[in-house]
Copies of this chain bind each other. A is one copy, B any other.
Amino acid sequence: MLENGEHFFEGVEKLLEIWFEESPNNENDLRNISRSDWEKVLGNVNCEIISTSKNDNLLAFVLSESSMFVSKRRWILKTCGTTTPLKCLSLLLQLAAENGFDVVADLFYSRKNFTRPEVQITPHQGFTEEVTYLDSIFPNGRSYCLGSMNLECWYLYTFSRSDVKASPQLISVDEKDVDSEPDQTIEILMQDLDAETMSIFYKNKFASANEATKESGIDTILPTMHIDDFLFDPCGYSMNGINDKGEYMTIHITPENQFSYVSFETNVALSNYRKLINQVINTFKPGKFIVTIFANKCSLAYETMKELEVEYSKGSHWKRTDMQCCNFPSYNLLFAQYSHDEKNGDSL
Contacts and interface: CB of A to CB of B under 8 A. Distances in A.
Interface of A: 127, 131, 135, 141-145, 147-151, 167-169, 171-174, 309-320, 322-327, 341
Nearest to A312: B172
23 contacts: A127-B149, A131-B150, A143-B148, A143-B149, A143-B150, A144-B145, A144-B147, A145-B145, A167-B341, A168-B313, A168-B317, A168-B318, A168-B319, A168-B341, A169-B314, A173-B311, A173-B312, A174-B312, A320-B327, A322-B326, A323-B326, A324-B326, A325-B325
Contact of A142 (B131, B148, B173, B318): B148
Nearest to A155: B149
Given A168-B320, A172-B312, A172-B314, 19 more contacts: A127-B149, A131-B150, A142-B151, A143-B150, A144-B147, A144-B148, A144-B149, A145-B145, A145-B149, A168-B312, A168-B319, A169-B315, A171-B312, A173-B312, A309-B327, A322-B326, A322-B327, A323-B327, A324-B325
Nearest to A324: B326
A334 to B, nearest CB: 10
Contacts of A141: 150
Q: Which of A127, A141, A168, A341 has the most CB of B within 10 A?
A: A168
Q: Which of A142, A172, A341 has the most CB of B within 10 A?
A: A142
A contact patch SS: mixed
A309 to B, nearest CB: 7
Contacts of A143: 148-150
Nearest to A340: B168
A134 to B, nearest CB: 9
Nearest to A309: B327
Contacts of A172: 312, 314
A171 B338 CA distance: 13
A316 B143 CA distance: 26
Contacts of A142: 148, 150-151, 322
Contacts of A325: 324-325
Nearest to A149: B143
Nearest to A333: B324
A36 B321 CA distance: 41
Contacts of A147: 144
Given A168-B341, A173-B312, A131 B144 contact: no
Nearest to A315: B169
A141 to B, nearest CB: 7
Which 5 interchain pairs have the tightest Cβ spacing? A168-B319, A323-B327, A142-B148, A143-B150, A143-B149
Nearest to A332: B323
Contact of A135 (B150, B171, B316, B319): B150
Given A149-B145, A318-B168, A324-B324, A310 B131 contact: no
A312 B328 CA distance: 11
A232 to B, nearest CB: 35
A66 B317 CA distance: 45
A171 B313 CA distance: 9
A70 B173 CA distance: 41
A148 B320 CA distance: 24
A125 to B, nearest CB: 16
